[in-house]
A and B are shown apart, each in its own frame.
Chain A
Amino acid sequence: MSLSFIIVPMRSLYRTRRLVQGDLARDIALVLLAGGIVGVSFGAIAVGAGLPMWLPMLLSLLVFAGAAQFLFVGIIAAGGNLVAAVLAGLLVNARHVPFGFAVGDVLGSGWRRWMGTHVMIDEAVAFALAQRDADRRGAAYWVCGVGLFVCWNVGVVLGAVAGTALSDTATLGLDAAFPAVLLALVLPSLRDKATSAAALMGVVIALVATPVLPAGLPVLLALLALPIALVLRGARGRADAGEVRESACAAEPGEEASCPSR
């Protein structure tokens, strides 16, 4: 009983290591490194703005969502209202609701699910969705999510302690690297014409809404394009979608009942 506490996580760790190697491991490692550097800048910016050293650390540990943390710290540093800062942060994080529906199946159950929920972050979701079979989806999600949690928090502590050494990540071009990471990961899905048409529409909606709506809301409005994508996909043959689904089924025997019988 007490041994299984050690053996079960060890075994799943070994399995995860086997699934995430080579290119995928290197890709995730690069994102973790970049995440750590942005963490350093977040810690340094927060302390440099005159906020207590523990604030960026506590936020990174408990909230763990980059965009919301930058916004929260920005509002407070500017002398803004605490309630406004919390609401702004929650609005930016509202996108995790649809994300949770999309990747909820990789989280497992019990303590794993509670932990996996906390590390649900854009990059982990994108890495998971970019994998073809179910096992690799889960492995990519966990390695990226937990890895980023560690690197981000270590980075924030370093930045908060070291101060303003590296507060401007724009000189390194990291502000361009993160959208590029997400773009590279969603690109395979965008090769489907209906999806790319809807995505383009969603991007336009979000961009038009950005100057007039509070942060977080414009991105959510992109979901208005979802019915269009579904109609377009329904009208066409569903051949390629079925193909992807089948490879997922092959990797997950327990799910066979829900697979198309072809």
Chain B
Amino acid sequence: MSEQMTLIGAVVVLAAGTYALRACGPVLRERVRLPRRAEEAMTLAAVLLLAALVGTAALTEAGGFAGWARPAGVLVGGVLAWRKVPFAVVVLAAAATAALLRLAGVP
């Protein structure tokens, strides 16, 4: 029983901490009127983070290489997106590429 309470406590601490991290930006932004350059820098920072998420999520799994199927799928999606193919096609093609490669035995 007390073990269960500790587990709930851990979830609540993680939840509160996550909420605090999410609230930093919206709360601080309200206090200070940001110059245009700072706003641009923040949008740019978000783009850099999202790009890094794409890179690490596409290529790595638990600190190691994720195998070929996943990055191949993401690459196909990226090429299609670059050629301005509709978003839905991009996402489905990425998933289908990875799934088919795995079906063919590629890790």
Please list the residues of chain A having a beta carbon within 8 angstroms of any beta carbon in chain B.
23, 26-27, 30-31, 34, 52, 55, 58-59, 62-65, 68, 72, 76, 82-83, 85-86, 89-90, 93-105, 107, 109, 113, 116-118, 120, 122, 125-126, 129, 170-187, 189-190, 195, 198-200, 202-207, 210-211, 215, 218-223, 225-226, 229-230, 233, 241, 245, 258, 260
Contacts and interface: CB of A to CB of B under 8 A. Distances in A.
22 contacts: A34-B95, A59-B15, A72-B14, A82-B10, A85-B10, A95-B49, A99-B22, A100-B25, A103-B46, A104-B25, A104-B26, A175-B66, A176-B72, A178-B57, A179-B94, A180-B73, A180-B90, A184-B77, A184-B81, A190-B47, A198-B48, A210-B63
Contacts, number: 279
B18 A93 contact: yes
B24 interface: yes
Interface string B1-34: 0001011101111110111011111101110000
Interface string B63-107: 110100111111001100110001110111111111110100000
Interface residues of B, number: 72
Nearest 5 interchain pairs by C-beta: A100-B25, A176-B73, A180-B77, A180-B94, A222-B52
Interface of B: 4, 6-8, 10-15, 17-19, 21-26, 28-30, 36, 40-60, 63-64, 66, 69-74, 77-78, 81-82, 86-88, 90-100, 102
Contacts of A126: 50
B93 to A, nearest CB: 8
Interface of A is mostly: helix
B49 A63 contact: no
Given A26-B88, A59-B15, A176-B97, 10 more contacts: A30-B91, A96-B24, A101-B25, A101-B46, A117-B23, A129-B46, A180-B93, A183-B81, A199-B51, A221-B52
